[in-house]
Structure 1
Amino acid sequence: MTQDELKTLVGQAAVQHVPAGAIVGVGTGSTVNKFIDALASIKDQIRGAVSSSVASTERLKALGIPVLEASEVESLPVYIDGADEIDAAGNMIKGGGAALTREKIVADLAERFICIADESKLVEVMGNFPLPVEVIPMAAAQVARRLKAQYGGDATLRAGCVTDNGCHILDVRGLKITDPAAMEADVSQWPGVVTVGIFARNKASVCLLGTSEGVRTLTF
């Protein structure tokens, strides 16, 4: 199957993990778009969604799915989103679509994070995909220097990218992230960092992995 077909497969499988009557957390990206399309088939069985991006909100509303603000809910049973990389423990790199801060906020509301991805995203050690770091613009150069000094990563500003929060994205190459939780906790505290795209604190509970043999379910 093509990568697009694998994304469709896991998007459809994810609908089975949405409880009846739920408000569901919805992420961002091409794989999530397949989930949103599938979610429309059960829209009468759910109360609505909390979205992590303007793009996902627009897609949900176009399909007639009510969208609530994160401030309107105290918790969500499930958050469904993709990943740029995921390791064997359920830690992820996210932020290729520049929505990492809002994704982390919605993920933090959820009891379970269900990652939907194709098998190319499963890695032994994260870091081949450039790590996104959302920064306040005036801090970009300062944060880039510190990433180089402390982790040996080469950070470049993502050209033409302004996030939904009005911030910039640094993409960090040359990393081998052997302790995701420690790096997430460290970089998150640096002045000027809004969010680092390591999801270790909010790691996946389940990964629905699209493979040539069908959907493989990984539980962490």
Structure 2
Amino acid sequence: MTTPDAPPPDDPSHASWNPARLLARWTGWVPIRPLGKRHRRRIGQHLLALGERDRYLRFGYPASDEQILKYVNGLDFSRDEVLGIFNRRLELIAVAHLAYAPAPQIKGRPAMAEFGVSVVSTARGRGFGARLFERAALHARNRGIDTLFIHAISENGPMLAIARKAGAKVERDGSESEAWLRLPPDSVSSHVDEAIGRHMAEVDFQFKRHMRTLGSILDGVAEVKSNYDGKGGGKAAKQ
């Protein structure tokens, strides 16, 4: 398939400062955090927890544990962008991989990046896949990428629906489909949007980490108190 020569969507940067638009955006805000080498183990745990059907939709084949670990160990964090969403227990419930073609890319063709995403079954229906797609598109745009590319099996309706909703052109070739989304050029507001999102996600992660630590301390204190009281401790028990 060849890249459709479709015009990029209108640059929404001038409208991103509209109060109503900002309110709608941040009301449904999701903390999306960049992942690095130190998260490789967690990424592996997330992907290994996917069922056979979900592995098939994510990779286009029912990837085995060995194939998944090979993929995770081969992630190039210095070149690509890997994004994640953590729950309150700091478990990765959604992961997106924005893979950039090795430089230099094909002469005469637009600079492209390929998008892939996975969401655990318990976190479906919350729009996490769409949010990760939006964030990946913003990151690619700010990096000078012209086109966002998705290769998926045609059975992956949710992924293709996300691409279509974003304005991508989807082409089906039998059991496989490709989606191409032309990105507008970067702007001051697009860089500000990404920087704010990155900062807020980091604040959210640190807050969850401190709350988990505090919870562990309180649980420990409660356990010690329970054991102490159970052994007849305390002034009242001695009277």
Task: Give the TM-score normalised by structure 2.
Answer: 0.26
Larger CA Rg, structure 1 vs 2: 2
